[in-house]
Amino acid sequence: MKEYLKIHPDVAKALQEKRPVVALESTIIAHGMPYPENLDMVNRVEAIIQDEGAVPATIAIIDGFIHVGLSKDSLEMLAKSDQIMKISKRDIAYATSQKKHGATTVSATMLIAEMVGIKVFATGGIGGVHRYAEQTFDISRDLEELASCDVAVVSAGAKAILDLPKTLEYLETKGVEVIGYQTDRLPAFYTRDSHYPVDYRLDEPLAIARLMDAKWSLGLKGGLVIANPIPEPYSIQSSWINEKIESALQEANALQIKGKETTPFLLSKVKELTKGESLKSNLELVYNNARLAAQIASSYATITQSKG
């Protein structure tokens, strides 16, 4: 594995010393937001994590090498270039063997984070079961990696473009705990409350870290979803945003957009339909998740360090 892997010195040192590290995906940079908002976003996210005492580790594939922790130049290249592959598990070997540039999705980021020993990952929203999946069979790879990778994923719930009840059912089948941070109900990305209950509510980062330690110390394989509601001032009214999502879904169906192109299209279309309001909310929920992820990572590091 080492011949394909480059770990940033700051990340490598933190992992060796059992200090807190937070993994970050790169698809949100290359495919989730326009330039320069995407570059401003990742720089602020990394600064938030550092301010909380943790080390950020943005993950991507550059010239065929898996990078865990990126330089400023690499971040800018990902933000500006239109030649960046979208990397899920099935794309990793191709991208490395063919010396490609690639931005990692939630699933690929989880997989690589586990490879190097990073236990906490901050993102915007996880993927899941798409609406009308009973016809399309469109289910995100994120759910499979959540079932198999020992990584806690902090998100604002599942992306609002998904079928949330089916996503929760799938996670239950796979034995993945959905933890509501200071909430009893699953947040729905742009909105604070989907009306669907989470498995457990925990109100402190330390309590979440203790759950992580208990789960993995017991040999129970798999990750956790830490559902962190978007801050109240940036929450969008559910009826209004759902109307825009339905409109975007209808257009995607008419254009026969499928597979890995679905989510970028829908998010871009929703941004257009909301006149940029959804992008503003997206940014704020990412910052909120980064802060909580760093706090959880710090608490988990304290637990592991106490064990020697």
DSSP 121-132: EE-S-B--BBTT
pTM of the model: 0.92
| pLDDT over 80 at 182, yes or no | yes
d(CA 206, CA 33): 32
Mean pLDDT of the chain: 92
Question: Rounded mean pLDDT of 48-55?
Answer: 98
Check: CB of residue 43 under 8 Å from CB of residue 79.
no
pLDDT at 18 over 80: yes
Domain ranges for the chain? 2-306
The helix/strand/coil state of 140 is coil
Task: Give 190-237 pLDDT, tens digit per residue.
Answer: 899 898 999 999 999 999 999 999 999 999 999 999 999 999 999 988
- Dihedral sign for Cα 302, 70, 37, 191, please: negative
pLDDT band at residue 260, thresholds of 50, 70 and 90?
A: low
121-157 tens-digit pLDDT:
999 999 889 777 777 788 889 999 999 999 999 999 9
Active site residue 166: no
CATH H-level, domain 2-306: superfamily: Indigoidine synthase domain (3.40.1790.10)
Considering the candidates 52, 76, 86, 159, report the single residue annotated as catalytic.
159
pLDDT score at 50 = 98
The catalytic residue among 25, 76, 145, 177 is: 25
Q: Does the active-site annotation cover 76?
A: no
Residue 203 CA, chain-centre distance (Å), reads 21
